[in-house]
Amino acid sequence: MTNPAASRSAPLTSDAARALGDRAQGLLDQLARVTDEPGRVDRTYLSPAHARSIDLVGGWMRGLGLATRVDAVATLRGRREADVTPETAKTLLIGSHIDTVLDAGKLDGCLGVIAGLLVVEEIEKRGVKLPFALEILAFGDEEGVRFPTALSSSSAVTGTYRREWLEVRDRDGRSLAEALADFGCDTARIDEARIDPAGVIGWLELHIEQGPLLEHWGLPLGVVTSIAGQSRFSFTLQGVAGHAGTVPMELRRDALTGLAEIALTVERVGRQGTNGLVATVGRVDVKPGAGNTVPGRIEATLDIRAGADAPRLVAIDRIRHEAERIAARRGLGFELHRHIDVPTCPMDDDLQAAFARSVASLDLDVRRLPSGAGHDAMAMARAFPAAMLFVRSKDGISHNPREWSSPEDIGLGVEALVRTVLDLAERARGGAT
C-alpha cells in the first residue's frame, strides 16, 4: 500500500489485530527470556541481562535496516532516516524501556520498544515514504530498581541528567559511575546523549495500562492525559541490636517494630489523600536479620504518588512529621533521604489528539485516562511534546509475572501507533486537517 492516508482509515479485522499482536508477543517472549535470574524476569539497569537484551533488540533493529548505537547511559537507539529531504527532516522519537522490576511481567516497557520496531516493519511493508526520521529508543533505567535514580536514561536524552546520580550506589555498594564504566559507557560523554529539541517532532510511547480502568470500560486502548507525580525516598531507623532472650521488652529499641508503626502510618496517610494519592513502603532490610536478635537497624524505601502535586507534597510532610514522632517515642534514630521528585506531568495536547484520531480510525471509542505509574514520557516531556497510548491490562495487574494483555489488544495498540505515525506524516506534508 503506497497511500498512507488509505492505510490509516479502515477498521482492523480482529484476525489482522491478532496477527500483529502475535508478532509482537513472539518478540516479547524472546526478550523475556533474557534475564539475570533463571525462571523469572529480572533485568535491572546495567546488569548482564541488560547487556544481552541490548544485543538482542539491537540485532532486531539492524535486521530492519536501522542504524544502531548505544549512548553514554546505555540507551539503545535505532534510527531510520527520513525518505524525503533527510538533511533537513525532523525526527519522531518512539520507544520505552527494557529494564524491568524484580520478578517482572513481559510487557511493561518492552511493549513500547517492540511496538517501535513493528512501526518500522509496517512502514516498510506498506511502502510508506516518511518526511521525518524515526528513532526508536530502548531506555535502561526507567524502573529505578537497582539505583535510586529517577528516569536517568531518558533524562540524558533531554539534557536533564544530574551528575550527582553517578555517585549513588546499588545494594552491593557499586556506584552508578562504576557500573556504567563496567558496561563500557563513557560518563564524560553523557552530554552527547542529549537530543536537540529543535529537531524533534515528539515522543510516542505505547505502554500497558498497568491498572484496571480500560478493562472496566470494556475498551482495548486509552489515550493518556497526564502522569502522576512521584517522590521516592530511602529511610533508616537506628535502634539497638540485642539478645532476643535477655533484653526485656521495656528496654528494647527495636527498629523493626518502629518500622511497623511507620508503615501503618504511611498506609493511613495514603488512604486519607486525594487525587489518587498512593503511598508504599516497598523494600525493607532488617539488620542484622537473625531470628534470635532484636532488630537494630532498618533500611527501607518509601514511594508516594498522586495525580496532582499538592496532595503528594502534603502527604510527604505528614509522613515525615509522624515518622519523626514515632521514632523519637521509641528512642530510634530516623533519617529520610529524597532521591526522586518528579512533578505531575501533562501529556501534549496535539499528540493526544493524534493518538485519539488513530484510535477512532479503528472504530473504537476514544477514552482518556491519567497514568498512576511513572514513565519515560515524564522525562521526555521536559524537552519534547510527549504522549502515551495505553493498552488494556488483564485484571489491571503489573509488576507481576501475571501481567498480560491479549494479542488482539496488543495488535490494536501497535496498529494505532503505526497509524499515528502515518497521521503525523500526512500532517507534516500538509495534506490533512
Query: Residue 205 interacts with Mn ion (CB under 5 A)?
Result: no
Which x/- pattern over 377-396 shows residues binding Mn ion (rule: CB under 5 A)?
A: --------------------
Minimum distance from CB of 104 to ligand GLV (Å)?
A: 10
Q: What is the full DSSP assignment across 57-95?
A: HHHHHHHTT-EEEE-TT--EEEEE--SS-TTT--EEEEE
Residue number with CB closer to ligand GLV (78 or 374): 374
Query: Residue 205 interacts with ligand GLV (CB under 6 A)?
Result: no
Count the residues of the shown chain that bind ligand GLV, applying the rule CB under 6 A.
3
Minimum distance from CB of 325 to Mn ion (Å)?
A: 33
Query: Residue 373 interacts with ligand GLV (CB under 6 A)?
Result: yes
Count the residues of the shown chain that bind Mn ion, applying the rule CB under 5 A.
2
Separation CA 207–CA 213 (nearest Å): 14
Query: Residue 376 interacts with Mn ion (CB under 5 A)?
Result: no
- Give CA separation, 385 vs 193, 206, 367, 377, 382, in Å: 18, 15, 20, 9, 8
Minimum distance from CB of 143 to ligand GLV (Å)?
A: 5
Identify the residue among 370, 374, 407, 411 touching ligand GLV (CB under 6 A).
374
Grid coordinates given for 330: 521509641
Residues 95-124 contacting Mn ion, CB under 5 A: 108-109
Q: Which does 170 bind (CB under 5 to 8 A by kind): Mn ion, ligand GLV, none?
A: none
* CA proximity to 340, closest of 235, 233, 227, 228: 233
Separation CA 157–CA 196 (nearest Å): 9
Minimum distance from CB of 24 to Mn ion (Å)?
A: 16
Task: List the end-to-end C-alpha distance of the chain, in Å, as a whole number.
Answer: 22
Torsion on CA atoms 254, 259, 260, 264, rounded to nearest 10? 150
Residue number with CB closer to Mn ion (113 or 428): 113
Q: Which does 374 bind (CB under 5 to 8 A by kind): Mn ion, ligand GLV, none?
A: ligand GLV
Query: Residue 143 interacts with ligand GLV (CB under 6 A)?
Result: yes
Burial 170-209 (b: 16+ CB within 10 A, else e): beeeeebbebbeebebeeeebeebbbeeeebbbbbbbbbb
Other CB atoms within 10 A of residue 283 CB: 14
Residues that bind Mn ion (CB under 5 A): 108-109
Residues that bind ligand GLV (CB under 6 A): 143, 373-374
